[in-house]
Structures are given as C-alpha cells and as structure tokens.
Structure 1
C-alpha cells in the first residue's frame, strides 16, 4: 500500500513538469496587425490589440510574436518626424515587451512619400523597413500568422 501511495505522490509531483515541457514544445502564437491609416485612434487600437495579445499569452506562460505592419498613410505611425504614437511605440518595444513585437515599415510607401515630399522620410529606429508592407503581410499569413485589422 505504501508503494502505491509513493507512486501516486510521485506522479502528482511530476505532473507539473510534464505540462511545462508541453508548453515549451508548443509553437508560438503569432499575429500580424495591419495599420494603413494615418489615424491616431487606429494606431492606438492596434497597439492596444498587441498589448492585450502579449499580456494574455504571457499570463498563460506561452510564447507570442506580434508584427505591426504599416503601409500607405499608416506609415506615419513609424515615421520619426510625424508619428503621433512615437512614445508609446518605444515603451511597447523597449520596456514592456522586449523581443515580442516588431514594427514593419513599407519601403514602397516610404519611397513614394520621399518623392512627393522631396526629402528623406525618417523611420523610427525601432522599425524594420520591408520591401512591401502588403507583401510582408501576405508572407506572414502564408507562414501561418493570424491577421488583425483594427
């Protein structure tokens, strides 16, 4: 009888280890969030969505990746000279969730803005310039990323 109790106790003690290893083996949750409007409300909604997703999976001790993809008028979100949410972007990237969120800036849009404005368009250092925002979003979806448009 004691042997059975010891085996039962050992099984109970080891059960959390087994579930932790299962969580470690899971693929990360991944979401791409589109921003194509020069509207601070839309930008803040995208940042709220990103924050909520990250906090949800952090609370479950599960990995998550977020890519906020901007193009067209939405590129203003990542412009160093015109972003209405620049401070919030820096806090989200550097302080709150390092390594969990990426900002993708469309180079096609950047080049178009530079041609129209006749000057270089500065992109925030926290952003990654991608050849095409639309193509970036397509490729993420082809790799199994979820898609959100606020």
Structure 2
C-alpha cells in the first residue's frame, strides 16, 4: 500500500469514527430533552376531541410519562370536553391523574354562564385559565410545541 492510499484510508477511518461519535452524542442528548406540548381543542366535534386525547396518550408512550409535559387547552365549543357532561369525561379524569394538564378557558365559561345562567361544571382535575388563547400563546413562548388536531 502506498503512503498516499494509506493516508487516505486513515483519514476516512478517523472521519467515520468522528461521525459515529457525534451521532452517539446526538442520541444521548435526545434522551435528556424534556419535551413540552400544548394541544388546542376549540371544537365540539367528538372525533377531534378523541384525537387530541389519543395524541397525549401516544406521546406519553413514545417519550415516557416522565419525559413530556402535555397541556390540553379547551376554549369556545371545545370547552364541553372538560365538563361533567362530556362524552370523554372518564378519559379526561384518567389522563389528569397521569400527568396531562387540562385548562378550561375562563372567558368561555363566563360567556356560557351569562347565556344560560349556570356556570359549567368542570371535571375534577381540570384547571382554569383566564383566556385559553392567551394560555396557548404563553406556553409557546415557554418553548412548548403546538398542535391542533
């Protein structure tokens, strides 16, 4: 083997080891990342609400419950998802015990109360925020990823 071919082979080997090492570091860094997600629910469509809940469950399975923060924010017609009359009430209750945060829009609740004379009764474990849209914006400013199923 000539010196030039040997030097080329050695350079290739060193480069390969360097690339493999950087990929190993990238993989370990990915494991240490704390993922954060906000999910918007602003529709009374049961299918969409189920998809939002499925997204939360699937991401907890994918990353591990201790590696992801999830908050589902409901406002407008989507607020019904977080009330005691919700068709997904049992799932919301269960997920709230499994580290998924649920936030109900206070503005929507006030509007409903003005129209009906009765404040909506929220599922146990659901919190309230002054404005759902503002909460989504604030979470995004804190680095949360955003989806709307």
The reply to whether TM is greater than 0.5 is: yes
2:115 aligned with 1:116: yes
Map of 2:70 onto structure 1: 66
Q: Which of these residues, 72, 91, 95, is aligned with residue 94 of structure 2?
A: 91
Flag the 1:62–1:129 CA change in 2: closer, same or farther, 3 A: closer
Larger radius of gyration: 2
Distance 1:62 1:119 in 2: 38
Unpaired runs of at least 5, structure 2: 1-24
- Structural RMSD (CA): 2.0
Map of 1:4 onto structure 2: none
Q: CA deviation at 1:62?
A: 6.0
Equivalent runs, 1:1-150 vs 2, <5 Å: 26-58=32-64, 63-80=67-84, 82-94=85-97, 98-99=98-99, 101-150=100-149
Q: CA deviation at 1:131?
A: 0.5
TM-score if structure 1 supplies the norm length? 0.76
Distance 2:120 2:148 in 1: 25
Distance 1:77 1:144 in 2: 25
Distance 1:72 1:36 in 2: 6
Unpaired runs of at least 5, structure 1: 1-18
Q: CA deviation at 1:113?
A: 0.4
